[in-house]
Amino acid sequence: MKSISLKKLFLLHSWVGIVTAILLFIVCFTGALAVLSRPELKIWANPELHQLSNVPCAKVTELINHYHQQVPPEFGENIHVYLPTGHNTHLLTILFESHDGDENYDEEAAYAYQFDPRNFELVNEYYGAAGDFYEQRKTDAPSFIGHFHADLHLGRPIGLILTGFLGLTLLVSTITGLFIHRQLIKELFTFRRKKELDVVVNDAHKIMGIWGSLFHGIIGFTGAFLGLATIILLPAAAFVSFGGDQDKLVAKFTAMPEPIITNDYQATDINTILIDAQARYPKAKIIDLTIMAHNDANAQVYLRLIGGDAVASQLLHYHGNGEFSKSMSSFGDIPGPAIKVLELLFPLHFGNFAGIFVKLIWALLGLSTALLPLSGMMMWLAKRSRGSNPTLSELAYQRWNRSIIGSCGGLVLATAILFPAQVLLNNLVPVQTHNAYFGPLFFYSWLAWCLLAVLPINYHRYLQVTMTLTGLACMAVLPLNLALSASHAFSANNLLVTAVDISFLFIGGLFIYVSNCLVTKPLNGVTAKATREVTV
Amino acid sequence: MTFIYLTLGCLLLVASSLLLRTANSASRWLSLVVFCIATACFIAVYGNIAGVFIAVPTALLIGLLTAFLLGKKTSKQ
């Protein structure tokens, strides 16, 4: 490739990286955590789910039948059952929905009943607009981070478009990076950790980029698709094929078409259906059910399954009498290789297709994706602040470093704070008010840490304090759980909580160890001159 | 059995990564062969598609960790 083209690619790589670096770090770091958020961290965050095995099918059937009699008949058109698996709600939720509303609501209305999965006691009742029910669902630290990763809590469509475009920039940076560093095999193991900091960062950026290129590319592509599909691709497809009618497009490709209600009574055999699904796919987990025209001769039941031998999530279709109809993708029973590829995009992005082993791989590689823009930015700053004629003054270099530590380190700290806060909330605050705490706690702590960057403090010290506080927040989880909660790391049959609490302790210890290393072994190289700065 | 296959797969990937670190053509080919055997271990646990989807990122992660921990092989080594 001509050197002029390489120079252009290098410029594109640099500027795309610089402009999006901090946002990319935010999305990638929260994404790496979000991989573990459902169901593992969500189960950890909700004591109701701690020691839960399979939900008894007969009990679920009994509850559906019992509460169906308590709601007006039109609310039996659509019944959604969210099983307490850690993928949806933390309680067993049965939601009776009427598409056309009722005398009080013109829009979709719902009656919802939520039960404690340990003893099936009714915990919460809801009647109102269906959309409001989903918006007001109880959140927790892992779900909060998961939603933040998806749309940065900017709402939809703005948040989704932004994360979608960040996925595209990640893809562009990965491809241009591969062209720039053509000597891939030569640089595969080049990591000189005993050299100056700028050499270490340079090498780390290259090896993370080269080794992780395939992963970064896939995450960038799938992330762009997930962010932009419903906002841009769906309207575009509707415009091309359905004269702009999105509803028509959705109706054409929906996996769960509305059945015609005959008004002939026939009991819907949910118990048999649940048992049959478990027998057919013993390794998979049923996460929710949709029952259409319940107790009608034309009733249809759809079960969403995740895990097992299938890479993508699958939808099982049963007739109301318990007869199995078919297994299909979540997009419906559409033939063709394009749908097969499309359905693989989701598990490839979420890493949820083969249990905890894959999730850990995804989380670690995701962290390397998050570190790439950060190391790239450090290289860019170092390059401009060294040599006989630097374009970046020493003061500007320090300000840049502080702003990176404030924004990126602040995000890590704010995220770490959410977990001990979750333990405190679980034990000291009524469940109904939990939702009000996570947003302010996360954003105000992050904002406060960002504002500290304005002060002319030594950025080494700033980094060290950030890491120490993050470590302390992580390490606080286990003792807090032990002191306050009845279901803690040392309770019997509580393997997941034990693993998560000990992991937090280990990660916290690691943060504190690294922050101590920063003191005993001050950063050298290009940053050495920058240490001669105004210190408060 | 799953645990044994996963451990074996990971150990083979470490071996593959170490072989790739040795800068000669024969060891690189051998590294590829070892990687294929490791992939077979993952396929045995997760099936064809998922097995490959897991083997490749695991190899990438182990390669990255090898690079971070051991660095480039020098002539003294």
How many alpha carbons lie under 13 Å from residue A264 in its C-beta half-sphere? 6
User: What residues contact residue A388 under an 8 Å CB cut-off, 6+ apart?
Assistant: none
Find the closest chain B residue to A369 by CA distance: B61
Cis peptide before A337 (omega within 30 of 0): no
- A375 and A204 in contact (C-beta within 8 Å)? yes
What percentage of chain A has pLDDT greater than the value 90? 67
CB contacts, 8 Å: A348 with chain B: 53
B54: closest CA of chain A, how far (Å): 7
Cis peptide before B57 (omega within 30 of 0): no
Interchain proximity B72–A191, CB inside 8 Å: yes
The pair of three-digit structure tokens given for residue A339, joined into one six-digit string: 């749908």
Find the closest chain A residue to B17 by CA distance: A189
What is the 8-class DSSP label of residue B24? S
A357: closest CA of chain B, how far (Å): 9
**What CA–CA distance (Å, rounded) separates A303 from A461?**
54
Hey, is A431 helix, strand or coil? helix
B49–A contact, CB cutoff 8 A? yes
**Most confident stretch, A432-436, A505-509, A523-527:** A505-509
Facing A214 at nearest CB: one of B50, B56, B68: B56
CB contacts, 8 Å: B14 with chain A: none
User: What residues contact residue A305 under an 8 Å CB cut-off, 6+ apart?
Assistant: A277, A281, A284, A285, A286, A287, A313, A314, A315, A316
- Alpha carbon A104 to its chain centroid, in Å, reads 36
Residue A64 has phi, psi (to 5 degrees) of -60, -50
The pair of three-digit structure tokens given for residue A125, joined into one six-digit string: 């009742």
Facing A354 at nearest CB: one of B20, B46, B56: B46
Please report the DSSP string for A51-69 in residue order.
T--PPPHHHHHHHHHHHHT
**What CA–CA distance (Å, rounded) separates A160 from A149?**
10
B8–A contact, CB cutoff 8 A? no
CB contacts, 8 Å: A368 with chain B: 64
**What CA–CA distance (Å, rounded) separates A205 from A208?**
5
B52–A contact, CB cutoff 8 A? no
**What CA–CA distance (Å, rounded) separates A371 from A385?**
21
The pair of three-digit structure tokens given for residue A39, joined into one six-digit string: 């169901």
Facing A188 at nearest CB: one of B46, B56, B67: B67
- Chain A interface mutation, best of B27, B39, B42, B53, highest count of A Cβ atoms under 10 Å: B53
Encoded amino acid at A369, one letter? T
Alpha helices in A112-229 (DSSP H): 130-135, 141-151, 158-180, 184-187, 197-228
**What CA–CA distance (Å, rounded) separates A509 from B2?**
31
B64–A contact, CB cutoff 8 A? yes
Instruction: State yes or no: pLDDT of A533 exceeds 80.
Output: no
> Helices A355-385 and A394-404: crossing angle, nearest 10°?
170
B33–A contact, CB cutoff 8 A? no
- A169 and A22 in contact (C-beta within 8 Å)? no
- A411 and A430 in contact (C-beta within 8 Å)? no
**What CA–CA distance (Å, rounded) separates A88 from A520?**
46
- Alpha carbon A81 to its chain centroid, in Å, reads 22
- As a whole number, mean pLDDT of residues A414-432 equals 96
B50: closest CA of chain A, how far (Å): 6
- Chain A interface mutation, best of B8, B13, B72, B74, highest count of A Cβ atoms under 10 Å: B72
Facing A358 at nearest CB: one of B21, B49, B54: B54
CA proximity to A419, closest of A442, A443, A396: A442
ipTM for the complex?
0.95
Facing A311 at nearest CB: one of B20, B50, B71: B50
Hey, is A102 helix, strand or coil? coil
Lowest mean pLDDT among A235-239, A291-295, A368-372, A439-443: A235-239
Facing A211 at nearest CB: one of B53, B54, B63: B63
> Helices A158-180 and A355-385: crossing angle, nearest 10°?
70
- A22 and A408 in contact (C-beta within 8 Å)? yes
| CB neighbourhood size of A197 (10 A) | 16
Which domain, by its residues, includes B48? Answer: 1-76
The pair of three-digit structure tokens given for residue A44, joined into one six-digit string: 């950890």
B9–A contact, CB cutoff 8 A? no
Q: What pLDDT is stored for residue A534 in this prediction?
A: 39
B20: closest CA of chain A, how far (Å): 9
The pair of three-digit structure tokens given for residue A450, joined into one six-digit string: 């960002």
What percentage of chain A has pLDDT greater than the value 70? 96
pLDDT (tens digit, 9 = 90+) per residue, A139-197?
999 999 999 999 999 988 899 999 999 999 999 999 999 988 877 777 889 999 888 88
CB contacts, 8 Å: A357 with chain B: 6, 54
CA proximity to A90, closest of A110, A67, A117, A55: A117
- A248 and A260 in contact (C-beta within 8 Å)? no
**What CA–CA distance (Å, rounded) separates B77 from B74?**
5
**What CA–CA distance (Å, rounded) separates A187 from A238?**
46
Find the closest chain A residue to B53 by CA distance: A348
A191: closest CA of chain B, how far (Å): 5
Beta strands in A63-144 (DSSP E): 78-82, 92-98, 109-115, 122-129
**What CA–CA distance (Å, rounded) separates A252 from A241?**
11
Q: Taken in order A211, A215, A218, A220, is the CA torsion positive or negative?
A: negative
A349: closest CA of chain B, how far (Å): 12
Q: What pLDDT is stored for residue A236 in this prediction?
A: 77
Instruction: State yes or no: pLDDT of A484 exceeds 90.
Output: yes
What is the 8-class DSSP label of residue A454? T
Interchain proximity A365–B46, CB inside 8 Å: no
CB contacts, 8 Å: B49 with chain A: 311, 344
Interchain proximity A191–B61, CB inside 8 Å: no
The pair of three-digit structure tokens given for residue A307, joined into one six-digit string: 């895990």
CA proximity to A359, closest of A50, A32, A85, A28: A32
Interchain proximity A365–B47, CB inside 8 Å: no
Distances (CA, A) of A272 to A226, A294, A318, A326: 35, 15, 10, 16
Q: What pLDDT is stored for residue A481 in this prediction?
A: 94
> Residue A51 — pLDDT band, cuts 50, 70, 90?
confident
CA proximity to A234, closest of A251, A258, A255: A251
What is the 8-class DSSP label of residue A40? I
The A-side interface with B (CB below 8 A) comprises: 188-193, 204, 207-208, 211-212, 214-215, 309, 311, 344, 348, 353-354, 357-358, 361-362, 364-365, 368
pLDDT (tens digit, 9 = 90+) per residue, B2-57?
899 999 999 999 999 999 998 788 999 999 999 999 999 999 999 988 999 999 99
How many domains would you assign to chain B?
Answer: 1
Q: Across the strands, what pairs with A286?
A: A305
B61–A contact, CB cutoff 8 A? yes
Find the closest chain B residue to A216 by CA distance: B57
**What CA–CA distance (Å, rounded) separates A319 from A259?**
11
Facing B71 at nearest CB: one of A193, A361, A364: A193
Alpha helices in A3-79 (DSSP H): 3-34, 42-45, 57-68
Buried b (16+ CB within 10 A) or exposed e, A321-344: ebeeeebbbbbeeeeeeebeebbb
**What CA–CA distance (Å, rounded) separates A46 from A48?**
5
Distances (CA, A) of A362 to A233, A412, B12, B51: 27, 18, 20, 14
**What CA–CA distance (Å, rounded) separates A94 from B54?**
36
Q: How many CB pairs under 8 A join A and B?
A: 70
Better-scored residue on pLDDT, A519 or A533: A519
Q: What pLDDT is stored for residue A296 in this prediction?
A: 92
- A435 and A513 in contact (C-beta within 8 Å)? no
> Residue A487 — pLDDT band, cuts 50, 70, 90?
confident
Instruction: State yes or no: pLDDT of A223 exceeds 90.
Output: yes
Q: What pLDDT is stored for residue A528 in this prediction?
A: 46
Better-scored residue on pLDDT, A193 or A286: A286
Q: What pLDDT is stored for residue A519 in this prediction?
A: 59
Interchain proximity A311–B64, CB inside 8 Å: no
